[in-house]
């Protein structure tokens, strides 16, 4: 007799003397699903084979699993593309004059806000965070920017 545990439920079959346990917190891949299906077909009672309806149901579940994994992969690719587009969008800031606020604390513990400005020379990405590098060498967090305008040196032709 064989006991098979999958996701916390137990089923017993008389065809084999093997025991297989799958951790309730683990996930089954396509390969695991196919292995289970092949084992089920291999170990079925020849005098009472699996109902064709059950077989079709399991194949539909397998197809659904495969499509879900494919969709997940496509979404991951879309997210990566969107991240690339975000950097491209931020690159349009190069050459623009920005005004931002820097916060600090003085020796008495008082909060001080200083308004600064500069021209964006580069866009940096570090650990997934985007920042701007100005002509004065300052690194600016986009969330601190209060104003964006054409650079002071640009003129209309």
Q: What is the CATH number of the domain that holds 114?
A: 2.30.30
User: Is 143 a domain residue?
Assistant: yes
Would you state the pLDDT for residue 24? Answer: 52
How far is residue 97 CA from its own chain's centroid? Answer: 34
User: Is 155 a domain residue?
Assistant: no
User: Is 157 a domain residue?
Assistant: no
Q: What are phi and psi for residue 120, nearest 5 degrees?
A: -75, 125
143 and 109 co-located in one domain: yes
User: Is 156 a domain residue?
Assistant: no
User: Is 36 a domain residue?
Assistant: yes
Q: How far is 120 from 30, CA to CA, in rounded Å?
A: 49
81 and 128 co-located in one domain: no
Local confidence pLDDT in tens for the 157 residues of the chain: 444 444 444 444 444 444 555 555 566 677 887 888 788 888 888 887 777 888 788 888 888 888 998 999 999 888 877 766 677 778 888 999 999 999 888 888 899 999 999 999 999 888 778 889 999 999 999 889 999 998 755 444 4
Give the range of the structural domain holding residue 137, as residue numbers without chain letter. Answer: 93-150
Q: What Å distances lie between residue 17 and 2, 14, 20, 43, 50, CA to CA?
A: 5, 8, 10, 11, 20
* Per-residue tokens: 112: 């001080």
pTM, 2 dp: 0.44
Enumerate the H helices of 28-155 as residue ranges.
Answer: 30-42, 52-91
């Amino acid at each position: 007799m064989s006991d098979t545990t999958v996701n916390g439920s137990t089923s017993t079959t008389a065809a084999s003397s093997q025991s297989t346990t799958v951790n309730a917190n683990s996930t089954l891949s396509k390969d695991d699903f196919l292995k289970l299906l092949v084992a089920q077909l291999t170990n079925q009672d020849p005098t009472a084979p699996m109902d064709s309806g059950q077989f079709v149901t399991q194949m539909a579940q397998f197809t659904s699993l495969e499509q879900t994994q494919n969709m997940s992969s496509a979404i991951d690719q879309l997210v990566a593309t969107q991240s690339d587009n975000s950097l491209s969008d931020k690159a349009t800031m190069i050459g623009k004059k920005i005004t931002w606020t820097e916060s600090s604390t003085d020796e008495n513990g008082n909060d001080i806000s200083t308004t600064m400005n500069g021209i964006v020379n580069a866009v940096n990405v570090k650990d997934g965070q985007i920042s701007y590098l100005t002509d004065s060498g300052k690194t600016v967090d986009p969330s601190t920017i209060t104003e964006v305008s054409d650079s002071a040196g640009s003129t209309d032709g």
